[in-house]
Amino acid sequence: MSQIKLSPSSLNLMQECPRCFWLHINKVKRPDTPFPSLPSGMDKVLKEHFDRFMEKGELPPEIREDDCKDCKLFDDKEKLKLWRNNLKGLEYKKGDVLLHGAVDNILVRNNKLIVLDYKTRGFPLKEDTHEHYQTQMDLYNFLLRKNGYETEDYTYLLFYYPNTVTETGEVIFNTKLIKIKTNAKNGEKVFQKAIKIIKGDMPEKNKDCKFCKWNN
């Protein structure tokens, strides 16, 4: 078998439905659904926005007075460019299985790295919104540590959601910074579970999965 490449999104699929994940790895993928272009456009302008402040050695106003006010933005431009690359990112390989994840940004506090991830939403957050990103954040910390970096045991999610439109047509966004406690060992367990599923036979149908009902 040639090299298998996994990402946080594919491991989220595994946790949702092991059978669909196994089929995905074996080239039987779920039908594609339309993906809005706004999040990708926001991601690009936010990275440029944060980089302008990084060049000045400052934090942007969204986080300047928040919990990470004593952090600084990671300023190794070449590494950050690599880690942001969706085709490369942070990598860790075990046998013929490669795990990779592309980060949005990195903060530094007391020489330890902290992942900062941007999220764009159409509506204000619910109490459990941040919980949907727990596995992704655990995996990012796992990847950083496997690449020899010290990390804090938490990451930050910075949410942007629309508030109002000005008379001149400018859309004003609200922001909310959420601190998520992470566990790199949990990230490793998810990765190990994925390898076990990949190397095994196709799992049984998941009765709660609508795609398993469709795909016979």
What's 169's domain CATH number?
3.90.320
Q: How far apart, in whole angstroms, are the C-alpha atoms of residue 34 and residue 46?
A: 23
CB hemisphere CA count around 94 (13 angstroms): 13
Token readout for 147 is: 């690449």
pLDDT at residue 15, rounded to an integer: 94
> Which SS3 state, helix, strand or coil, does residue 103 take?
coil
pLDDT at residue 215, rounded to an integer: 66
Range of the domain at 187: 4-214
* Contact predicate 189/13, CB 8 Å: no
CA 58 to chain centre: 24
Q: Which residues contact 121 (CB under 8 A, 6 or more apart)?
A: 129, 159, 160, 161
pLDDT at residue 13, rounded to an integer: 95
Q: Determine phi and psi for 163, rounding to 5 degrees.
A: -110, -60
Q: How far apart, in whole angstroms, are the C-alpha atoms of residue 6 and residue 187?
A: 13
pLDDT at residue 31, rounded to an integer: 80
Q: Which residue in 103, 36, 114, 43 sits closest to 73, CA to CA?
A: 114
> Which SS3 state, helix, strand or coil, does residue 56 take?
coil
User: Domains in the chain: how many in total?
Assistant: 1
Token readout for 92 is: 């860790």
The per-residue pLDDT string of the chain (216 residues; one tens digit each, 9 = 90 and over) reads 589 999 999 999 999 999 999 999 998 888 877 777 777 889 999 999 999 999 999 999 999 987 898 999 999 999 999 999 999 999 999 999 999 999 999 999 999 999 999 999 989 999 899 999 999 999 999 999 999 999 999 999 999 999 999 999 999 999 999 999 999 999 999 999 999 999 999 999 988 898 888 766
